[in-house]
Amino acid sequence: MLTQEDVQALALAVQGIGRAGGAPFPMDRKYSVTQGGKEVILQPFYDRVNLATATPASVSLFSQPIGASVTLIRAGATATVTKTPRDTNLRTSGVIQDKSIDVRAIQFILVPLQQAAAGGATNDISDDKATLYAHGWFEIVPGSKSRLQMSLLPFKFFDPDFMSTTATTTTTWSAAGVGGMMLSLGEDAILIERGIPFAFTVYFDGAPTLVQSFDLQAYLWAYAERPVQ
């Protein structure tokens, strides 16, 4: 249900200012300093899933909150672990329960199982990353309507590789190359309303095979509403 503040924000959006375009103005950041008012803060939302060497057809992000038992890379090994704030800041499966968010940028980070430059198969990290970016695409669906579909390929160019300072025939790439910059949505922010289920699914066509497993971490860089504190 829209509040008066939400209607005002939508009016600002039509004019290209406020929460739907550029950083919020100060008055948009804090609607009221009285009890019951709201403020808008920069708060990224993130989640992490594992990709096995036999890449799955799809993975669902933001579907397993803190405390869920999942398979992830931790301490240099893939294991069944309990999700912590390292992995996600989602509290309820598939829902931003207590706040609405304006997503301004999207970021993907691929974390390989073997991260040490001196370890075996590190030279395959770059090839594996290229394979995932070339075969993948994602879709964000707030509520029941698709909001964004996009290939992962542009994210490859946000994720550069760096030569290892101790490069040999088996250690060509440094772990410093893992991790990508964010893709800005510019003026076209994605609104995910509080309490409304949303889906974030990454698909991989062709069942590509990897040399090693990866964790895929996604970030939704967003402004979030919350009660004034």
Tens-digit pLDDT profile for residues 42-62: 889 999 999 999 999 999 999
Question: Does the pLDDT value for residue 119 go beyond 60?
Answer: no
Instruction: Quickly state the pLDDT bin for 199 (edges 50, 70, 90).
Output: very high
pLDDT of residue 163: 61
- If phi > 0 it is left, if psi is from -120 to 50 it is alpha, else beta; for residue 135 that is alpha
Average the pLDDT over each of 33-37, 50-54, 147-151, 169-173 and give the range with the smallest value: 33-37
pLDDT of residue 106: 94
pLDDT of residue 194: 84
What gap in Å lies between CA 142 and CA 151, rounded to an integer? 18
pLDDT of residue 20: 46
Helical residues (DSSP H) of the chain, grouped into ranges: 4-14, 26-29, 125-135, 153-156
Question: Does the pLDDT value for residue 210 go beyond 50?
Answer: yes
- Check: pTM over 0.85? Answer yes or no: no
Per residue in 164-193, pLDDT tens? 666 565 566 555 445 567 888 877 889 898
**What's the whole-number mean pLDDT along residues 131-149?**
94
Per residue in 61-106, pLDDT tens? 999 999 999 999 998 899 999 999 999 999 989 888 777 888 999 9
Per residue in 218-228, pLDDT tens? 999 998 877 76
Nearest alpha-carbon partner for 193 in 132, 145, 138, 128: 145
Higher per-residue pLDDT: 30 or 190: 190
Question: Does the pLDDT value for residue 32 go beyond 80?
Answer: no
Nearest alpha-carbon partner for 178 in 124, 125, 107: 125
pLDDT of residue 186: 77
pLDDT of residue 11: 47
**What's the whole-number mean pLDDT along residues 2-19?**
47
